[in-house]
């Protein structure tokens, strides 16, 4: 049922010309897939998708279309050829699925390889009830380390692409991100002002409760960032910049990766393998708990600060464009 909704939304995305509507539909699409993940028992994934797909990505897209314009030109490149390619590929893929084990069958090959060990032994080996956390942070910690580095690198990339043209003195006269929102929506402002502390608190809960329920560094980071982004949107970028200075967040994002990596190094120096937390403490369960806590903290720091940096740079870029336009108009009037 949810899948059918997803299909309808996706088709609507093809048909729509107004990019604003498309972005909103993409947000709905994210929320729908999050609900689907809940039905499929993937609560941690649903958590992440709801925060990312319906929250942050919609926001970023909105900021970008504010800069690039709403309307899509109707020109298409050889739609028939594209349709042909897509149909053939899709047909082949569907032919491929005919050999797949049926949905939900417990004896599918995927459930027989490493999953039984995770499910049966992780409570003795790691001592954490949430299996997703123990696989993410302990069994596959090296993999997750790589992913954190990718996120960090993306943050650096956005910084390199967008802040190149900015001089430090520009920062002071960037217009607030959305002036109209400041004056008109008093109710929204007051309600969100009350909500923001709770969102931050919730992020911390998700961060440190990831061992027992669904949650962890990735989700917590995104939720934390969204609280700060909400603040920046409602009170203007200028005021937000006074509270949060960007070099500090750049520093924190690097510290997160460093913390993660040094846990691995610490376990090596104590005589174990890279990311083998058993050696961090006398009791291996305590060692595992300590290791997971630290690396989740590292993940949370990096994800939150990279998301904040990304948003601030996009919004700052937009503020600069507006300022340039204003100056342009002034110059025209003068001449």
Partner 1 sequence: MLMGLFNYWIVVVLMMIGLYIVIAHGNLIKKIIGLTIFQTSVFIFYISMAKVDGGTAPILADDTIQYSNPLPHVLILTAIVVGIATTAMALSLVVRIKEAYGSIEEEEIQQQDNQIQEDKQEGKQA
Could you give the CA distance from residue 332 to residue 335 in angstroms, rounded to a whole number?
5
Maximum Cα–Cα distance across the chain: 78
Pick between residue 77 and residue 242 the one whose CB is nearest to partner 1.
Answer: 77
Pick between residue 106 and residue 194 the one whose CB is nearest to partner 1.
Answer: 106
> Are the C-beta atoms of residues 26 and 58 closer than 8 Å to each other?
yes
Could you give the CA distance from residue 73 to residue 70 in angstroms, rounded to a whole number?
10
33-62 residues in contact with partner 1 (CB under 8 A) are: 33, 36-37, 40-45, 48-49, 52-53, 56-57, 60-61
Pick between residue 145 and residue 231 the one whose CB is nearest to partner 1.
Answer: 145
Q: How far is the CB of 310 from partner 1 (least distance, A)?
A: 5
172-191 residues in contact with partner 1 (CB under 8 A) are: none
Pick between residue 93 and residue 187 the one whose CB is nearest to partner 1.
Answer: 93
Q: How far is the CB of 135 from partner 1 (least distance, A)?
A: 5
102-161 residues in contact with partner 1 (CB under 8 A) are: 102-106, 108, 110-111, 114-115, 118-119, 122-123, 129-132, 135-136, 140, 143-144, 147, 150-151, 154-155, 157-158, 161
Near partner 1 by CB under 8 A: residue from 21, 24, 35, 94 = 94
Could you give the CA distance from residue 158 to residue 183 in angstroms, rounded to a whole number?
31
Could you give the CA distance from residue 295 to residue 220 in angstroms, rounded to a whole number?
13
Near partner 1 by CB under 8 A: residue from 230, 310, 312, 316 = 310
211-250 residues in contact with partner 1 (CB under 8 A) are: 212-214, 216, 218, 221-222
* 192 Cβ contact list (under 8 Å, min separation 6): 230, 231, 234
DSSP H or E run through 291: helix 284-334
73-92 residues in contact with partner 1 (CB under 8 A) are: 73, 75-79, 82-83, 85-87, 89-90
Could you give the CA distance from residue 93 to residue 88 in angstroms, rounded to a whole number?
9
Q: What interhelical angle do 57-68 and 284-334 show, nearest 10?
A: 20
């Amino acid at each position: 049922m949810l899948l059918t909704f997803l299909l309808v939304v996706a088709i609507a995305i093809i048909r729509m010309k107004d990019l604003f509507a498309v972005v909103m539909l993409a947000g709905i699409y994210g929320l729908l897939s999050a609900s689907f993940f809940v039905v499929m028992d993937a609560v941690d994934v649903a958590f992440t998708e709801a925060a990312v797909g319906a929250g942050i990505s919609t926001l970023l897209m909105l900021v970008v279309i504010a800069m690039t314009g709403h309307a899509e030109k109707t020109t298409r490149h050889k739609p028939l050829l594209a349709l042909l390619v897509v149909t053939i590929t899709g047909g082949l893929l569907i032919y491929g699925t005919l050999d797949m084990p049926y949905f939900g069958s417990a004896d599918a090959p995927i459930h027989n390889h490493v999953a039984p060990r995770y499910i049966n032994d992780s409570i003795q080996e790691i001592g954490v009830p949430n299996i997703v956390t123990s696989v993410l942070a302990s069994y596959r910690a090296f993999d997750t380390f790589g992913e954190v580095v990718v996120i960090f690198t993306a943050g650096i990339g956005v910084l390199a692409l967008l802040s190149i043209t900015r001089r430090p003195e520009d920062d002071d006269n960037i217009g607030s991100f959305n002036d109209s929102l400041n004056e008109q929506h008093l109710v929204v402002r007051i309600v969100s002002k009350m909500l923001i502390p709770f969102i931050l608190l919730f992020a911390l809960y998700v961060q440190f409760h990831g061992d027992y329920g669904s949650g962890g560094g990735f989700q917590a980071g995104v939720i934390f960032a969204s609280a700060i982004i909400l603040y920046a949107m409602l009170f203007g970028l200028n005021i937000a910049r006074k509270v949060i200075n960007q070099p500090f967040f750049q520093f924190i994002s690097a510290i997160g990766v460093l913390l993660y990596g040094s846990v691995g190094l610490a376990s090596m120096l104590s005589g174990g393998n890279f990311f083998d937390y058993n050696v961090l403490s006398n009791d291996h369960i305590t060692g595992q708990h300590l290791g997971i806590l630290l690396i989740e903290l590292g993940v949370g720091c990096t994800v939150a600060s990279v998301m904040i940096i990304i948003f601030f740079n996009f919004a700052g870029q937009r503020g600069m464009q507006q300022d340039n336009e204003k100056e342009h108009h002034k110059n025209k009037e003068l001449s």
